[in-house]
Structure 1
Amino acid sequence: MPNPRRQRAAALTVTSALLALALTGCGEDTGDGDLTRQKLTWRECPAPSQAQGGGTAPSPLPGGGTWQCATMKAPLDWDDPEGDTIGLALIRARASGEAGRRIGSLVFNFGGPGGSGVTTLPAFAGDYANLRTRYDLVSFDPRGVGRSAPVECLDDARLDAYFQQDATPDDAAERAGLVRNTEEFNAACEKNSRKMLPHVRTTDAARDMDLMRQVLGDDELHYFGISYGTELGGVYAHLFPEKVGRAVFDAVVDPTQSPEQSALGQARGFQRALDNYAEHCVSQTEDCPVGDSAQDVKDRIARLLKDLDAEPLPGVFPRRLTQTAATGGIAQALYSQDFWEYLTEGLEQAYDGDGRVLMALSDALNGRGDNGEYSNITAANVAINCADDKPRYDPADVERKLPEFRAASGLFGDYLAWSLLSCTDWAVPGAADHPDVGAAGAPPILVVGNTGDPATPYEGARKMVRALGKGVGIELTYKGQGHGAYDSKNKCVRNAVDGYLLDGREPAAGTVCS
């Protein structure tokens, strides 16, 4: 079952049938056991591995230059820093401006958890060209992800079957099937990745980033975190407040919430985004092709999903579009207003008996490529969430919570409520009820919330500002749609973020962009 609770990277990689994506690693250490002194060997990037999402090597940079990749060694277990090591895949684009104006490295995490930064940064580097004038743009595959000791669970054929299951059970037999499939997925993770599962917590990734900072030669970590990347950035700021440089958190995770509260917030957020999509469709065209009014659009979608529960449609051959796959496809399309046209096309086709576009959107959410092979984003997402999150839920818990989830969203409530079973019988205990991001003594961090964000609802930005501590978080509001604000290309947001990262100009707290 896909778990969209904190996914961002999937929204950035809508399959090549719809948009496109594009990269990863080699290195060496000093041989004396001090990993902070290792020297990275930067080479031209190879084509991405299947765990990273497959595809071709990244295209040359605008204006010349190539992407460079390396592998950094890090401790497998940060409690035993001189023990076994793992390799973390890094990618960079060198600063394009004058050498004397270079600030340092700007490290990106695009979220998930489970997204490959090595593939995502080149795919969207054009959005960050202005920042590259003064920074080396750097990203990485966090531990357990892509080429960085990836977590492995089910093989491709079994994942196809896993994502075809009914993830919104209606009776005892369907509930038992969902629990059984979840247990089989989690058992496969333990069997195939037993050594890694205890070491993929967000605190481990934050320590990796501080090692990265030192190996890259930076006195401070300049950082751009998106979605789950804001949680990772907050944990880093908590652990290393004196090492925080200029940092931006965009599409902000609420660090005060339990998994249940987070999923409930997403139910409200995706419902809000669906409402906005429906209103937009009927107001922007003379004849909205998927409904005569906003309510009609939503009613027809609800009927479609009910019909699919009884009889799936032909999808991407030989698979069929199930109710669960369609719900995931709709959720995927709501991550960005740029994807709304695909949602309209997918709904039109589905009403005519063709489920291919909605299934392609669902495949993007799940990390399935056009070749039928999966990245490891789902495996890593579950592994990191379950290592981080202490609460464990059973079907009885979900049943008790269903009325509240359904009140939040008739369309997404069941889907997100049942996703709480993801950590059933997980091999590793969760670390905490929620992350600690208190960062007293850290310099100002720019926290950007989007009022129309479905996946990390706007309210989380203010909660992050408060949790960081007095004088640390600077709140910036974007009145827009989609997951995140900077990639909306809104000039007000761009000017505020670029001015802060490039010149250290802090926008006034409470600034609103629209």
Structure 2
Amino acid sequence: MRHRLAPLGLALALTGAPALAADAPPTPCRLPGVEHDARCGSVSRPLDPTRADGPRIDVHYVVLPALARNKKPDPVLFFAGGPGQSAIALAGPMSRLFTRLGNRRDVVLVDQRGTGRSAPLTCDTPDPAMPLRDLADMAAVRARLQRCRTALQALPHGDLRQYTTTIAMTDADAVRQALGAAQVNVVGGSYGTRAALEYLRQFPQAVRRAVIDGVAPPDMVLPATFGPDGQAAFDALASACTAEPACASRYPDLAGQWQRLLDSLPREIGVTHPVTGQPERLTLTRDIAGSMLRGPLYVPALASALPLAISEAAAGRFEALFGLGGALGGGRKEQQLAEGMHFSVVCAEDAPRLAGTSAAPAPAFGTTFADLYRDTCATWPRGSVPEAFYTMPPAPAATLVLSGGIDPVTPPRHGERAAQALGAKARHVVVPQAGHGVMGIGCMRDVLYRFIDADTDADALAVDTACVESIPRPPAFQPVRAAIAASGSAR
């Protein structure tokens, strides 16, 4: 689940509202990163499902047409993450991920209401060249979020109570019906797994197969899980370093070193801005340090450089830590979230349940994320969420549940809980050394194809996944000079 909203901050201003229209049947269109023509369409939906005569919004979708002449009748319906990510903005990467599936099945990408082209609830992203001191000012972040909320509410589609996952899945089924598909193969990643599970709950008869990757079940209760799940991923990193001779030799007490750094905070530090290259000074707090640590844990290749970054920071050199902390997403359009939709979902579905949770302490991290969500959701309009939303009935069709063993945000404990609830037609596959999201790793594209293409549920659930379960964790990164020295001493 991509909670990269505010490692350092949010800047807030608004995009314009989309034009409203009746259903627009899909017509040929071109999308960045997609080799072949796509078809773009929309369905007109009531903003408030209880007011058919009220304001309406256009929910946009894209069809990546099957290439084969005799295509299968059941398309792949993809739900993006976030919450707040545009599925259409991911058309390029998805066309490559689903290359084999897309040969004989259409791939359908729906911009969930509040994202992308569908009544967007978008705030400006911060300028990555802003001074670090300003990006780290959480009081300013909170104030900007409140201004953003006020401005969003003034939009024609600004009733922020109408963007829950439950309502959004009725939009998705309207797309299915508009396309004339009796059944779909549902695929969701990160928050998209919550969307997929809700689609299964509401429209079980419409699902032929389901794949959920990096599972965020409806009962997960964000942001209470941020701390313990991130802590488990960091502890796994420290253990891996201890077990790796080169890492253990160079960084003999990684967890202790990080704790000693945290104990020295807050303090003023000097650091080179990772974007502008200019020297700056700011007060480093435990919360800022924790946010820098959390992001790289999503991707094992980035996390492999954390031992070096922590060692450098302990010596007073913070460039590596800040560089890694800002590496995930990189400002690319497909990685950006519609923050208004994000908070509309989390504040309606998770925040009301926070009081009933008791998360374990997370000493490696601060409380920036949890505090930001609590403060923002205290005044954010909350949609109505049916109690049934928090349940996961038995799966109506074969469902592949995927987890990365060292995922800091949706680790296997959530996938296992979902798989148990989904019952006999669900299979949980853990890739032990993978981070957040495993569909694109190694042979998983072929696994997805064989799972969805199988003729029966039994054949689908028996698909061989051994090819990904043994993928190793990347070794700890070593500077070039250190690596050369180590190689020479080994000889």
- Global fold match (TM > 0.5): yes
**Equivalent residue, structure 2, for 1:277:** 237
1:32-43 to structure 2, matched below 5 A, reads 35=23, 38-43=24-29
**Equivalent residue, structure 1, for 2:407:** 453
1:425-444 to structure 2, matched below 5 A, reads 425-429=379-383, 431=385, 435-439=389-393, 442-444=396-398
Q: 1 CA distance for matches of 2:133 and 2:122? A: 16
**Offset of residue 70 of structure 1:** 4.3
Aligned partner (choices 242, 256, 268) of residue 311 of structure 1 = 268
Aligned partner (choices 316, 328, 342) of residue 381 of structure 1 = 342
Aligned partner (choices 256, 273, 284) of residue 299 of structure 1 = 256
SS in 2 for 1:486: coil
**Equivalent residue, structure 2, for 1:204:** 167
Aligned partner (choices 198, 204, 214) of residue 235 of structure 1 = 198
Q: Is the 8 A contact 2:231 2:365 kept in 1?
A: yes
Q: 1:132 to 1:73 in 2, by over 3 A?
A: same
Q: 1 CA distance for matches of 2:170 and 2:430? A: 30
**Equivalent residue, structure 2, for 1:52:** none
Structure 1 position 497 matched with structure 2 position 467: no
Structure 1 position 248 matched with structure 2 position 211: yes
**Equivalent residue, structure 1, for 2:187:** 224
**Equivalent residue, structure 1, for 2:46:** 75
Q: 1 CA distance for matches of 2:61 and 2:339? A: 21
Q: CA RMSD in A?
A: 3.9
Q: 2 CA distance for matches of 1:350 and 1:441? A: 48
**Offset of residue 429 of structure 1:** 4.9
Q: 1:183 to 1:338 in 2, by over 3 A?
A: same
Structure 1 position 59 matched with structure 2 position 33: yes
**Offset of residue 281 of structure 1:** 4.0
Letter paired with 2:231: Q
Q: Is the 8 A contact 2:200 2:396 kept in 1?
A: yes
Q: 1:509 to 1:155 in 2, by over 3 A?
A: closer
Q: 1:163 to 1:510 in 2, by over 3 A?
A: farther
Q: 1:130 to 1:387 in 2, by over 3 A?
A: same
Q: 1 CA distance for matches of 2:323 and 2:441? A: 23
**Equivalent residue, structure 2, for 1:463:** 417
**Offset of residue 116 of structure 1:** 1.8
Structure 1 position 335 matched with structure 2 position 335: no
1:74-473 to structure 2, matched below 5 A, reads 74-81=45-52, 83-96=54-67, 98-123=68-93, 125-153=95-123, 156=126, 163-165=135-137, 182=142, 185-194=145-154, 195-257=158-220, 259=221, 262-281=222-241, 283-284=243-244, 286=246, 292-293=251-252, 296-307=253-264, 309-314=266-271, 315-316=273-274, 317=276, 322-323=284-285, 324-344=287-307, 346-347=309-310, 350=313, 355-356=318-319, 358-363=321-326, 369=331, 375-389=336-350, 391=352, 405-406=360-361, 409-412=362-365, 414-421=367-374, 422-429=376-383, 431=385, 435-439=389-393, 442-468=396-422, 470-473=423-426
**Offset of residue 448 of structure 1:** 2.2
TM-score, structure 1 as length reference: 0.73
Task: State the number of aligned residues.
Answer: 441
**Equivalent residue, structure 1, for 2:439:** 486
TM-score, structure 2 as length reference: 0.76
Structure 1: stretches of 5+ with no match in the other structure: 1-5, 11-25, 46-57, 167-176
Q: 1:182 to 1:236 in 2, by over 3 A?
A: same
Q: 2 CA distance for matches of 1:248 and 1:388? A: 22
Percent identity for Structure 1 against Structure 2: 23
Letter paired with 1:300: Q
**Equivalent residue, structure 2, for 1:44:** 30
**Offset of residue 69 of structure 1:** 4.3
* Residues 51-73 of structure 1, C-alpha deviations (whole Å, 9 max, x = no match): xxxxxxx2343xxx255544443
Q: Is the 8 A contact 1:27 1:72 kept in 2?
A: no
Letter paired with 1:479: P
Q: 1 CA distance for matches of 2:79 and 2:346? A: 16
Q: 1 CA distance for matches of 2:219 and 2:134? A: 31
Q: 1 CA distance for matches of 2:134 and 2:389? A: 30
Letter paired with 1:59: G
Q: 2 CA distance for matches of 1:283 and 1:476? A: 25
Q: 1 CA distance for matches of 2:26 and 2:131? A: 36
Q: Is the 8 A contact 1:9 1:116 kept in 2?
A: no
Letter paired with 2:98: Y
Q: 1:305 to 1:138 in 2, by over 3 A?
A: farther
Q: 2 CA distance for matches of 1:342 and 1:142? A: 35
Q: Is the 8 A contact 2:28 2:38 kept in 1?
A: no
Letter paired with 1:412: F
Structure 2: stretches of 5+ with no match in the other structure: 6-17, 471-491
**Offset of residue 153 of structure 1:** 4.7
* Residues 381-416 of structure 1, C-alpha deviations (whole Å, 9 max, x = no match): 2222113235176xxx79x96xx532xx21126345
Q: Is the 8 A contact 2:257 2:311 kept in 1?
A: no
Q: Is the 8 A contact 2:193 2:217 kept in 1?
A: no
Q: Is the 8 A contact 1:255 1:463 kept in 2?
A: no
